[in-house]
Amino acid sequence: MRRSLIPAVLLTSVTLTGVAAGSAQAADLRLPFACGAQFTGKTYSGHSPQNAIDYNGLGGGNSDLGMKIVAAGSGTVTKSLYYSKASNVGYGNAIEIRHGDGTRTFYAHLRDRKVKVGDKVSRGQLIGHLGNSSAKYNLLAHLHYEQRSSSGAVVKAQFNGRTAPEYARFGSAVSHKSDNCPKSTPGPSTPTPTPTPNPTPAPPSGGGIGVALPSISTRFRATVRTDNGLPVSARKDARTSAAVVRKFKNGDAVRIVCQKRGQTVTGKYGTSNLWDLVDLGGGRGAYITDTYVYTGRDGRVAPACP
């Protein structure tokens, strides 16, 4: 499948309130993005298979590379592979999951694959990250998504038992906010609450003074999340070789002033070159890789640093 580059179209914001299908799927399927993530979906003339949907983040181009892709429903991984040139299809990194009623969901062009064949997955579980992988095409980043019947036919996608609105708005980008949230009490799903943070730590003895903060008044509150209890360093620039100004531990509260692209780092929340300039007080700040910062959503949450 190759996503055509077509002129910009009307962006229509909707919720999944389309007409319910004649026979609702037994599988509890939700949008294939992490809880609360915002993105758009589209299908169009020439799309193959016709009932597939292409999903993108809101920034355009390749700005959505690395968005978290999660299982639309619980089930068993039946495919996890890279489609080579010999396959004569351009899916790149792809995953298929078989659900309890025999239906399957398919996710293609992933940057990576976090599950293997035979794995049992839960709805909302991370299975990979949005990418542009393909052995056949040169693509902009997006998620190619299919729902397949038990016989293997690609059918119109349904979420919460309702047909996806992309088919009724053919050729238009439809905006979504994912409701693929952790199961709790019966009723509408709610976003995972932000953990109660620890107080902002004092600078370590001998620590640097950081960098001067730009003239940006807004602060975005977030929480540091580290691996195995190890601290994460805040630095004078967006690279791991820059001088350490402060160390943050798991649960520390931070206030993001702005964000910029720097060295690519792999951390708790995947791989990214996005760094957050956090307010240390006194008009000074330091950069911390966004891969160890819980903001509640993927991508940028603050303006670009000047």
pLDDT bin (cut points 50, 70, 90) of residue 185 is very low
pLDDT of 187 higher than 70? no
pTM confidence score: 0.55
How much of the chain, in percent, has pLDDT values that exceed 90?
A: 62
> What does the block give as tokens for 60?
């355009």
Strand segments (E) across 149-225? 154-155, 158-159, 162-163, 173-177, 211-212, 220-224
Six-digit token pair at 160? 């919460």
Domains of the chain with CATH codes: 37-178 (2.70.70.10), 211-294 (2.30.30.40)
pLDDT tens digits along 188-210: 545 555 555 555 454 443 345 78
Mean residue pLDDT across the chain: 84
CB 208 within 8 A of CB 245: yes
136-146: average pLDDT: 94
Q: pLDDT tens, 63-112?
A: 889 999 999 999 999 999 999 988 888 999 999 999 999 999 999 999 99
* 184 — pLDDT class (breaks 50, 70, 90): low
Average pLDDT over residues 119-137: 95
Residue 255 to residue 257: CA distance in whole angstroms: 6
